[in-house]
Amino acid sequence: MARHPEKAKFCCLSGRNILVLCSQQGVQMFESDGSVMVFWYALPAAESTQGLLFTRGIAVLPDNLIAIGTHYGGILVFRVPSQGTNVTLCQTLKCHDYPITAIATEGAVMASADDSGGITVWEAVQDQIGRVAKVNGGGSSCTSLVVYKQMVIAGYGSGHIRIFDAFKATMMVEVCAHARWIHAIDLAPDSGLLVSTSEDTFVRVWSILKKQDDVHIQLEHTEKIQDTQLTGVQFLDPNGQSFSVSGYDSNVLNHFTKVN
């Protein structure tokens, strides 16, 4: 079972939408309807280390940049034109010593995480992406990330959710959110609602409130999906009024809507 589900994503760029797929061979980019493959990038054999080759973690930055993580800890940054197939690899970021597990962005700020639990915060300035902060790993894999209001929100294999100041790399809040491995988190930016899923069969909705340097997280709702190891979750609107949940080895999407 793949513990890190961030292998496919619709990327909304200026002038077009792109479907990005990560695999053990490399990266594929398609038009949003899947009809035409726009670009294919194969992982070079020379970059192979012991273990599997793979790409994992997808995020969008300004200026039509797409960042994708790799098995060796590097982050590939591709520039995608507003039309056509002239996709170029414009930068490779190197900071992690372990495989990338997740990447998230908000505007020009990007966070990347690895199998050791380490997190690096980057910022895109003009045509270059530079490192601005780093959180050392604690031994438990960081499986999922959200960047929100200059905070990095991270889910871990230990079941914890931790919130860090994006530019100071200091932990602001920690909560023991689940009894088992957290697979996915997502955030509704207009309401500050956070949703998390885990192998413990629970999906939980949290509210996050930030006032200056104070951050509070509160559990708002819990649902149990019987006999299902939950692997993915996504809000369907920016207010967090509804979300869908996926499970391992299941073709069923569970959909939840808030009733006022």
Q: Output the pLDDT for position 34.
A: 87
pLDDT tens by residue, the chain, 260 residues:
344 456 899 999 998 999 999 988 899 999 998 889 999 999 887 544 556 788 999 999 999 999 999 999 999 999 999 999 999 999 999 999 999 999 999 999 999 999 999 999 999 998 789 999 999 987 899 999 999 999 999 999 999 999 999 999 999 999 999 999 999 999 999 999 999 999 999 999 999 998 888 899 999 999 999 988 899 999 999 999 999 999 988 899 999 998 87
Domain with 222, as residue range(s), is 180-260
Q: Are residues 71 and 128 in the same domain?
A: yes
Query: Rounded to 5 degrees, what are φ and ψ at 46?
Result: -65, -20
Statement to judge: residues 138 and 192 lie in one domain: no
- Domain ends where: 154, 176, 198? 176
Residues 188 and 69 in one domain: no
- 148 in the same domain as 97: yes
Do 69 and 194 have their domain in common?
A: no
Distance CA 67, CA 46 (A): 21
CB of 105 closer than 8 Å to CB of 123: no
Query: Same domain for 141 and 190?
Result: no
- Cβ distance 201 to 230 under 8 Å? yes
Q: How many domains does the chain have?
A: 2
Based on the domain organization, do 109 and 225 belong to the same domain?
Answer: no
Instruction: Select from 143, 176, 209 the last residue of a domain.
Output: 176
Q: What is the CATH classification number for the domain harbouring 131? A: 2.130.10.10
Supply 53's token pair.
Answer: 């080759």
- Print the SS3 string covering 172-189: EEEEECCCCCEEEEEEEC
68 plus 171 within the same structural domain: yes
184 and 172 in a common domain: no
The answer to whether residues 103 and 69 touch, using CB atoms and an 8 Å cutoff, is yes
Give the whole-angstrom CA distance, residue 152 versus residue 202. 23
Q: Are residues 150 and 193 in the same domain?
A: no
Final residue before a domain boundary, out of 150, 176, 202: 176
Model pLDDT, residue 5: 52
Residues 40 and 126 in one domain: yes
Does 254 lie in the same domain as 129? no
